[in-house]
Structure 1
Amino acid sequence: MSLSGVGVSPGRVAGPRVVVAADLPEPVSSPAPDDVRAEAGRIGPAAASVAAALSDRARSVSGDARSLLETTAAMAADPALVAAAERLVLDRSLPAPRAVWEAAGEFMTALRAAGGYLAERAADVADVRDRIVASLLGLAPPGVPQLTSPSVLVARDLAPADTAGLDPDLVLALVTAEGGPTSHTAILARALGIPAVVACAGVLGLDSPGLAVDGSAGTVSPSDGTVRAPARTSRPTWDGVGRLADGHRVKLLANVGSAADARAAAAAGAEGIGLFRTEFCYLSAASEPTEAEQRAAYAAVLEPFAGKPVVVRTLDAGSDKPLAFLPMGAEPNPALGVRGLRVAFDRPELLDRQLAAITAAAADTGVELSVMAPMVATPEEAAWFAKRARAAGIERAGVMIEIPAAALCAAEILAEVDFVSLGTNDLAQYVYAADRQLGAVASLNDPRRPGLLRLVGMVASAAAEAGKPAGVCGEAAADPSLAPKLAGLGVTSLSMNAAALAGVGAALREVDLAGCRSTSW
């Protein structure tokens, strides 16, 4: 019996199966505490102890692992989560563990509704939730068991605190029942050179001594538990300059959403920021952050890239990505509704305040600023955004190409803006009518498929004719095996998570432009 999932890190291995323990059971809602104020008062110290433990663990590692653990520690210390849980104790007389469970659930629901990268961060919140609940109940925190010999690690999903501490000498492969190509499991598996398959439904039900994993084909099969693995190659090195073997330049940039992300990207040698997801600064806000608050939040992210190019994406929200201060109402199909730039058409002042804050933060940090809008469908929408951006003092205005209509009208859109960036994650799901969060159709979102690549080539060709840049900031950019093909299609920059930079940079150095253009699909 062979199971299929999504291969996110290549390699073929086999070995004994080790299953990560199941999640904590859902805490009960009764009995009500005798002293609700005392019960509510337990939550803050429990969250602080979890944050401190994660911070201590972060200091023991470096690079991407440290950044991931720091980000998780910040989630545990989030005052919004603590305050929401305390309020549930005081208002509904819930036990503290149950209150934390429900408060975290509200955050997770909002993230899942957001889709894409944000939806996969819901697993991070669940990890923090379980650690705080365990602390309140006096239980050991959840996590990966101690490995004593090379094994194939199997889990429903893996949180940052799990993936960040993995020993590549003991973990032969990673297999998760959930997750996707932008999950922490996928990102760190590629960075560590560990074969990995995600969205492998049914893997937790396999009862065999071992598993054989093909991270290229995305298959998982029962085995006798004998270790079969090729010699692990050393991690790739990269000098911080994106170029091919013949010197042809392809800038390697970073996708970030927080100050921790930006610091990790700078440490990894990113040449700049290709996608700053500003919605991260809004997630826990009950009301729209003031211009001053936005300015400070953006500056904290931009600061590590002083003097370097950064591309800031304006707020990507809507009925599919709900924010507390931005009620959108119900829609029959939120993925096709009012989202991204469309939100600003009826609320232009929201966009104008954000553009002013972005401009001020760029001045504060000395970055080379570009700003782009998400979910642009027509040249008229591109022109509308560019006019407002330039009125705010932004010299370089661009748009995301993530709707097929925008790719097909790339030449007309490029007549209105200074650059475009292909969001291959959303573009793939719209091209193939396949929800990127649904495991059953995950294989259709493979960025190697010709339909998507043809659209990328069309956009890159239109950009070359216009003499303007066309980058890729979707997860396709983080795949070392696909990066040369994208370069051959005419893409001028690739933007990815920090963990992927060295691998992509090394892969590009192995081939010249002629070789990239001849790469088969």
Structure 2
Amino acid sequence: MTADRPDQSGRTASRRPPRVLTGIGVGRGVAVAPVVVLAPPPSVPTDEPSAADPASALARVEAAFQAVGANLAARAAATDGALADILDATASMADDPAMLAAVRRHLDEGHGPATAVTAAAAGFADALRAAGGRVADRVTDLNSVRDRVVARLLGLGEPELHDTLDGPFVVAAADLAPADAAALDPSRVVAIVTEQGGPLGHTAIVAGQLGLPCVVRVAGITDVPAGTLVAVDASAGTVTTDPPPEQVAVTTARRHEVARTLSLDTAPGATADGIPVALLANVGTQADTRRAVEVTAEGIGLLRTELLFTGRHTAPTVEEQTAAYRQVLEPMAGRRVIVRTLDVGADKPLPFLDRPSEVNPALGVRGVRLDRTHPQLEADQLTALGALVADLPADARSDLWVMAPMVATTAEAARFAYEARAHGIRTVGAMVEVPSAALQASAVLAELDFASVGTNDLAQYTMAADRMAGDLADLLDLWQPAVLELVARTIRAGVELDKPVGICGESAGDPLMALVLVGMGATSLSMSPAAMPAVRHCLRAHPMEICREMAAVVWDADDAATARTRALGLADPEVVALLGLR
């Protein structure tokens, strides 16, 4: 027999027995709210008639693509950070002449407009999947563009999240495209749950930027009736439908207690015994910088410069770049700002670059390697950054550091260092995200002033596992011993040469992993602003001796689970309970 009870939206619903759905948690937060399921994409009629006038039909299709692209570009301009980067790249898909050419062929073969768009998109999706790596994740973006164009051709509105709930809610979807994420209202959405995706995919990136608990790879979540109360626990990777009242009370209390406790500490990062650890923010826009200031970040550990280049048909001028970088740097006057030079190629092509197609773009000409074919791009960036070093007034001058992405050899490090210093940049470094750079860390660092370990890419290249592939999530676990060994090797080289080595990636934003990295000797941790309060609190509760002991016990672990369990066993139980580090 069932009983009636009010749910979080104030309605009365029949009590159903709780059901626990499992997936892969992203972050550590918890939330309780009714679920809203993202509507499925529009269906193309199987009997859509052929276009009577292919030329006229193509004009309609082109207009639909242009409208979708303009909508996505507007959303990119209205948001910031990684989400804006992704939206800009998605908008460029709607402006691809090759897509229209493929649609034209299908129209000429007798297909209707919506069918032609669907068939053309399927061909491009197959090519993206075959490329693998981060390129394959663009299938979600491509399908989002396809669905929006098809909806317009069928006279429907573009797919959006429509809900009738007055209060907060949990978003559930098969997958969450960037365009869908951009429509989320962070004042109402308290968690994200998807059936697909991976722990380093676009959904995870968006959840991290918004500071939302997230669970991906949850089979059956879209079958949960809309309005059903669910409890989301990202640290456990679970979603409980119709949770009992006591679970609702405990989850709600924990959410409030975490928020209250973390808001009390705004001091610079340090261990319990006072050893400083710089806590830096990953940013991409001026708005990101404001958020970093709000969480009292001690600087910027990764300033992404791609947003200034994406969605353009010509490269930005030196003057444009100087003005844009100045806007981000000025609010951080007196604090460290680490700028990463252009990291494009692979999943982030630029329309104005004349680049041949690559069999595997993720392993092709990208990052610092673009200097081989387009040296002016790097030269202009370094000129703009050098001008800032020389021209900023003393009271607005940041401690400006510049690093190159995708450095693989000592020769690449030496060349970049020479060029950067020739442009007046005083502190030059590199991202260590290619295993060869970690294996030769001493030689690479000898040419540089610092290094930043990009753990996301380092993990996928080390484990030969696509970082977006949810079914390979175990190989991309932050605690994989092989990846930790490469991180430790790089940090040891920095210690021996007395050069700072920071961590930039998902590892830096994980409170427990942060303790291990500091114990290894990492001098800074750079993360999304939303992750910083929890990392700061965790560091403050553990002395350096414990951090070093944690680093020591993970050395000879046979697998990721064992490494994490050993570190967890040394952590403060109260912190473990508060942050859900179980």
**TMscore range, shorter length:** 0.7 to 0.9
Moved more, 470-479 or 105-114: 105-114
Cα-Cα RMSD: 4.7
Contact 2:75–2:87 (Cα < 8 Å) also in 1: no
What amino acid is aligned across from residue 233 of structure 1 in structure 2?
Answer: H
CA drift of 1:323 comes to 1.8
1:254 aligns with 2:281: yes
Taking the TM superposition and a 5 Å limit, the aligned residue runs for 1:242-321 are 242-321=269-348
| Alignment partners' CA distance in 2, 1:219 and 1:261 | 30
What is the match of residue 342 of structure 1?
Answer: 369
Give the one of 218, 235, 239 matched to 1:216. Answer: 235
* Residues 194 and 291 of structure 1, relative CA distance in 2, 3 Å threshold: closer
What is the match of residue 518 of structure 1?
Answer: 549
1:458 aligns with 2:458: no
* Residues 407 and 100 of structure 1, relative CA distance in 2, 3 Å threshold: same
Contact 1:23–1:142 (Cα < 8 Å) also in 2: no
Contact 1:296–1:361 (Cα < 8 Å) also in 2: no
Give the one of 412, 428, 443 matched to 2:443. Answer: 412
CA drift of 1:373 comes to 1.0
* Residues 400 and 18 of structure 1, relative CA distance in 2, 3 Å threshold: same
CA drift of 1:396 comes to 0.8
* Residues 8 and 373 of structure 1, relative CA distance in 2, 3 Å threshold: same
Larger radius of gyration: 2
What amino acid is aligned across from residue 443 of structure 1 in structure 2?
Answer: D
What is the match of residue 61 of structure 1?
Answer: none
Cα deviation 1:236-295 (Å, max 9, x = unaligned)? 224151222222111111112223323332333222111122222211122333322332
Taking the TM superposition and a 5 Å limit, the aligned residue runs for 1:47-86 are none
Secondary structure of 2:314's aligned partner: coil
CA drift of 1:492 comes to 0.8
- Identity over the aligned pairs, expressed in percent? 45
Structure 1: state its 5+ residue gaps.
Answer: 59-65
Cα deviation 1:172-204 (Å, max 9, x = unaligned)? x53112344456754675688764212435543
Cα deviation 1:115-173 (Å, max 9, x = unaligned)? 65x987997898799889989957487125243577654213444445443437xx4x5
| Alignment partners' CA distance in 2, 1:38 and 1:403 | 45
What is the match of residue 233 of structure 1?
Answer: 256
1:508 aligns with 2:531: no
What is the match of residue 471 of structure 1?
Answer: 502
Contact 2:385–2:425 (Cα < 8 Å) also in 1: no
* Residues 341 and 444 of structure 1, relative CA distance in 2, 3 Å threshold: same
| Alignment partners' CA distance in 2, 1:323 and 1:474 | 24
Contact 1:16–1:224 (Cα < 8 Å) also in 2: no
What amino acid is aligned across from residue 501 of structure 1 in structure 2?
Answer: M
What is the match of residue 15 of structure 2?
Answer: none
1:167 aligns with 2:172: no
Give the one of 138, 143, 146 matched to 2:161. Answer: 143
| Alignment partners' CA distance in 2, 1:177 and 1:35 | 35
CA drift of 1:3 comes to 6.0
Moved more, 270-279 or 154-163: 154-163
| Alignment partners' CA distance in 1, 2:195 and 2:500 | 38
1:480 aligns with 2:480: no
| Alignment partners' CA distance in 2, 1:8 and 1:374 | 25
| Alignment partners' CA distance in 2, 1:429 and 1:73 | 20
| Alignment partners' CA distance in 2, 1:132 and 1:481 | 44
TM-score (norm 1): 0.78
Taking the TM superposition and a 5 Å limit, the aligned residue runs for 1:125-204 are 139=157, 142-143=160-161, 145-147=163-165, 152-158=170-176, 159-167=180-188, 171=190, 173-181=191-199, 186=204, 195-200=213-218, 203-204=221-222
Give the one of 25, 31, 54 matched to 1:7. Answer: 25
Contact 1:108–1:125 (Cα < 8 Å) also in 2: yes
Contact 1:331–1:337 (Cα < 8 Å) also in 2: yes
Moved more, 106-115 or 350-359: 106-115
Secondary structure of 1:443's aligned partner: coil
Contact 2:465–2:476 (Cα < 8 Å) also in 1: yes
| Alignment partners' CA distance in 2, 1:131 and 1:107 | 16
1:326 aligns with 2:345: no
| Alignment partners' CA distance in 1, 2:127 and 2:295 | 31
Structure 2: state its 5+ residue gaps.
Answer: 1-18, 551-565, 568-582
What is the match of residue 447 of structure 1?
Answer: 478
Contact 1:114–1:321 (Cα < 8 Å) also in 2: no
What amino acid is aligned across from residue 25 of structure 2 in structure 1?
Answer: G
What amino acid is aligned across from residue 345 of structure 1 in structure 2?
Answer: R
Secondary structure of 1:322's aligned partner: coil
CA drift of 1:400 comes to 0.7
CA drift of 1:485 comes to 1.8
CA drift of 1:211 comes to 5.8
What is the match of residue 577 of structure 2?
Answer: none
Moved more, 288-297 or 5-14: 5-14
Contact 1:101–1:129 (Cα < 8 Å) also in 2: yes
